[in-house]
Structure 1
Amino acid sequence: MTVESELRRRIGTARRVVVKIGSSAITSFHGGIRRAELDTLADVCQARMAAGSDVFVVSSGAIGAGMAPLRMTARPTTLSAKQAAASVGQLELARAWGDSFARHDRVVGQVLLTAADIGRRDSAANAQRTLDRLRTLSAVPVINENDTVATNEIRFGDNDRLAALVAHLISADALILLSDVDALYDSDPRKGDARAVTMVGGAGDLDGVIAGPGGALGTGGMASKLAAARLAADAGVPVLLTAAERAAEALAAEPGVGTVFAPRTERMSARRFWVRHAADTSGSVALDDGAVRAITGARRSLLLAGVTGVEGLFHFGDVIEMHDQAGRAVARGIAQYDSVEVRTRLAERESGAGAGQGRPLVHADDLVAL
């Protein structure tokens, strides 16, 4: 059995599956929710659940679902208009999923999340417990970003990333991304001469791949799906990407369907995954070249000697970013000092007061290179 076929078998038999459904799969500009397509997807998810799997649905489409009732003819661009459309669309979408799964005597539980919910460990744990309880009660969790309260600064940006974070949160065995594209291609398939990539085993398989932005109804796109697949890979979750029209084949992980992404050989610890992908950052520090090499190449702790500047306000235990001299983020980690003390230490060093090195600013165990 090849690596790809084994990976597809693993996805096809996964016990706990996250299925992300893109806006274009279930909504249209003028008709709102496409009920027939949504019913078909619910049927596919029900078949997988009847076979013994737990299915968690991450559904986009709230803004698209709210456009028709509000007589919007183009996707809103301002934050307030998006939130207004989402406030109407969330109700429409929840009702549609509820009606659809009711045909199978299934109850739906709506779970709305913001980036801040995942970024805080206490609220993330609460979300995980809610999702798990819905599962044990045989309800279908339908998860979406809470667009009505999210802001540009804290939003996930697209539900592909949300789906990957949920996959980590619930320790999923597989993530299936359904959109309007049947596979990953090395270029835009609409322009011809594009080659489908059936498996991504590592970053080298993406050499030469050109990923574009999302369509008119959604905020995602191939670039966001690649980022989500990499994020899920860090969590040890295999991913299958394909079109919503091939949902039944995808959930069965049939040969030749879409693109599969291999997970990391060793699943990143929950703590390190949280630091790298989910946690809110509260400030940053600038590093000299030696410190950058030490934390990214040698995986050493960040010492105060390598810090050249501080931005923002942070406290002991907060997650901070580390930047190189060009301002690029190179790592994230949990601070062992607050920003006031770091600034004081740097000032003492500049004045020649001889401040001691002390404990690391970020210990190697709490530091993740980007």
Structure 2
Amino acid sequence: MALSASGSNNGNSPMEYGWQQVRAAKRVVIKIGSNLLTAGGEGLRQSWVNARANEVMRLRQAGKQVIIVTSGAVAAGAPLLGLQRPPASLREKQAAAAAGQPLVMRCYEQAFAAHGVAVGQVLITRADVENRRRYLNARDTLWTLSSLGLVPVVNENDTVMVEEIQFGDNDTLSANVADLVAADLLILLSDVDGFFDADPRHNPLAKPLPLVERVTPALEKLAGGVGSAVGRGGMATKLKAAKMAARRGCQTVLTNGFRPDPVTELFSRPVGTLFLADGNPLSAHKAWIANARWSKGEILVDAGAARALQKGGSLLAKGVVEVRGRFARGDAVLCLDPHGQAIAKGSVNYQASDLQLIRGQHSSAFESILGFAGDAEVIHRDNLVLLEETSAAETTAALS
């Protein structure tokens, strides 16, 4: 596990190569946190958004496509509800989002209107990325807006979300958007200077990590909880977003949005923390399975099946030891090795009740047991993604 830059000075170190890729990026997703937009909940900061619009226009003039993922609707709308406290219940948060979303979009509209450029609002829900057809529709909309010269501004549709199916933070949403548009670079603008080996708010000796080659469970243990009073994301969600983007071959930079010109600065020199993309990125379909789909259950497999999966094979019923959860055909499930470690995730060919009946059996017995022949594979290798080091937190979140 490499936490910082290392290697030779011959121009091919991971740090140098990573920043070369950053500068060469053609399609960029910029995530803007609530704390940056509202300065701690004191209203939308039009001047700050104007400055970011200036930076986006510079990137566009350099031939780059830019998609913005914004937070801030709940924080902007909360003062309009007349509450003497921050919105607490889900209904209050939904109402605040409904009141605040027009204000957020007006802020971006004014900022880009100064450059003669229109913006396009895209509200996405978790269900939109979970469903393959809606996922592709969202992708096409974002691509079309960009190709026609508009700046897409994406936010989660908080007004219709329930806690069980929401993204929960716009760091995760931004990584899904990076997936959608096949971005080369994800920029996470936050109120921190990067990723540290300890919480700098509580430990003055905390050291920044300029380079993370791979997000591992050891790194995830360093991440804390929610970072600000007006935002739902924290360092843990930023690591998750970087990990998701890396699977698709997308570099991620975490940097402080309160710095002067934080976006254009990172195209001229290393700043913040750079999370490298995987050297062998997933295909678009497998990235969708890994990043966009929620796991609806678990399948415990035996040692032989675990080895077969890790070598790129399909999952057969013969190797299934236990079926956990209630899932339907086509749902995503996690595959656990005999030690309970999540080693793969895939789209299953059988509902849980049927799989319970055929576990441990050869496919030749399926028809006599189920009354129909069914698929030979429980999960085909084309619909399965290996998870080398899935943290317990990620596994739990996938099953929520």
Q: TM-score, with normalisation over the residues of structure 2?
A: 0.84
Q: Which segment drifts farther, 335-344 or 13-22?
A: 335-344
Offset at residue 52 of structure 1 (A): 1.8
For the structure 1 residues 120 and 207, does the alpha-carbon distance in structure 2 shift closer, same or farther, using more than 3 Å as the test?
closer
Offset at residue 35 of structure 1 (A): 1.6
Q: Which amino acid aligns with 2:293?
A: A
Instruction: Work out the CA distance in 1 between the residues paired with 2:250 and 2:41.
Output: 36
- The superposition leaves residues 216-262 of structure 1 with CA deviations (integer Å, 9 ceiling, x where unpaired) of 11011111101100110001001111011236243342324101111
Q: State the Cα RMSD in Å.
A: 2.8
What is residue 121 of structure 1 aligned with on the other side? 132
For the structure 1 residues 257 and 279, does the alpha-carbon distance in structure 2 shift closer, same or farther, using more than 3 Å as the test?
same
Q: Which amino acid aligns with 2:24?
A: T
What is residue 248 of structure 1 aligned with on the other side? 261
What is residue 368 of structure 1 aligned with on the other side? 385
Instruction: Find the partner of 1:52 among 45, 48, 63.
Output: 63
Instruction: Find the partner of 1:265 among 259, 268, 279.
Output: 279
Q: Percent same amino acid at aligned positions?
A: 37
What is residue 321 of structure 1 aligned with on the other side? 334
What is residue 244 of structure 2 aligned with on the other side? 231
Instruction: Work out the CA distance in 1 between the residues paired with 2:285 and 2:337.
Output: 24
Report if aligned partners of 1:86, 1:147 keep a CA contact under 8 Å in 2: yes
The runs of 5 or more residues in structure 2 that have no matched partner are 1-10, 388-400
Q: How do 1:1-370 residues align onto structure 2 when only pairs under 5 Å count?
A: 1=11, 2-28=13-39, 31-72=42-83, 74-190=85-201, 191-203=203-215, 207=219, 210-214=222-226, 215-246=228-259, 248-253=261-266, 254-281=268-295, 283-290=296-303, 293-294=306-307, 297-323=310-336, 329-346=342-359, 359-370=376-387
Offset at residue 295 of structure 1 (A): 5.1
Offset at residue 211 of structure 1 (A): 1.2
Offset at residue 32 of structure 1 (A): 1.9
Instruction: Work out the CA distance in 1 between the residues paired with 2:84 and 2:374.
Output: 61
Offset at residue 359 of structure 1 (A): 1.3
For the structure 1 residues 307 and 247, does the alpha-carbon distance in structure 2 shift closer, same or farther, using more than 3 Å as the test?
farther
Report if aligned partners of 1:158, 1:219 keep a CA contact under 8 Å in 2: yes
For the structure 1 residues 305 and 357, does the alpha-carbon distance in structure 2 shift closer, same or farther, using more than 3 Å as the test?
farther
Instruction: Work out the CA distance in 2 between the residues paired with 1:208 and 1:142.
Output: 29
Report if aligned partners of 1:280, 1:319 keep a CA contact under 8 Å in 2: yes
Report if aligned partners of 2:318, 2:361 keep a CA contact under 8 Å in 1: no
Instruction: Work out the CA distance in 2 between the residues paired with 1:71 and 1:99.
Output: 26
Q: Which segment drifts farther, 117-126 or 1-10?
A: 1-10
For the structure 1 residues 15 and 247, does the alpha-carbon distance in structure 2 shift closer, same or farther, using more than 3 Å as the test?
farther
Instruction: Work out the CA distance in 2 between the residues paired with 1:29 and 1:79.
Output: 21
Report if aligned partners of 1:145, 1:156 keep a CA contact under 8 Å in 2: yes
For the structure 1 residues 242 and 36, does the alpha-carbon distance in structure 2 shift closer, same or farther, using more than 3 Å as the test?
same
Offset at residue 294 of structure 1 (A): 2.7
Q: Which amino acid aligns with 2:383?
A: D
The runs of 5 or more residues in structure 1 that have no matched partner are none
Report if aligned partners of 1:18, 1:172 keep a CA contact under 8 Å in 2: yes
Instruction: Work out the CA distance in 1 between the residues paired with 2:127 and 2:91.
Output: 19
